[in-house]
Amino acid sequence: GDSVTQMEGPVTLSEEAFLTINCTYTATGYPSLFWYVQYPGEGLQLLLKATKADDKGSNKGFEATYRKETTSFHLEKGSVQVSDSAVYFCALNGGSQGNLIFGKGTKLSVKP
């Protein structure tokens, strides 16, 4: 079945460091890909998405490119801030009724 694999955390970075969180997927067909973020004490929020190959999703300085050839959707940010500390989930829409399949999540801690 469809699945998502993302790098295990936690990831600890200093402010203004470069961030990469790897995400690869296995799917039949051509799913849409998502990154969701969960800030402490809050629900999941959509960070960015890409619906087809070579699309780049971007938001709040984060970006990820849908790479069909490598089945990847790595999340990157050039300069992280303390406020980016959260858990990041990679996901794809693999269910017949539109449910999302999630990776295990990667906790990011950014130190000042």
Partner 1 sequence: GAVVSQHPSWVICKSGTSVKIECRSLDFQATTMFWYRQFPKQSLMLMATSNEGSKATYEQGVEKDKFLINHASLTLSTLTVTSAHPEDSSFYICSASRNSNTGELFFGEGSRLTVL
State the residues that interact with partner 1 by CB under 8 A: 31-32, 34, 36, 42-46, 49, 51, 89, 93, 95, 97-105
Name which of 34 and 62 has its Cβ closer to partner 1.
34
CB of 101 to partner 1, least distance (A): 8
Closest to partner 1 by CB, 18 vs 30, is: 30
H/E stretch holding 109: strand 106-111
- Both tokens assigned to 75: 């999340």
Q: Take residue 86 and report the two structure tokens written for it.
A: 């959260």
Nearest distance from residue 1's CB to partner 1, in Å? 11
Question: Which residues are CB-neighbours of 87 under 8 A, at least 6 positions away?
Answer: 9, 37, 38, 105, 106, 107, 108
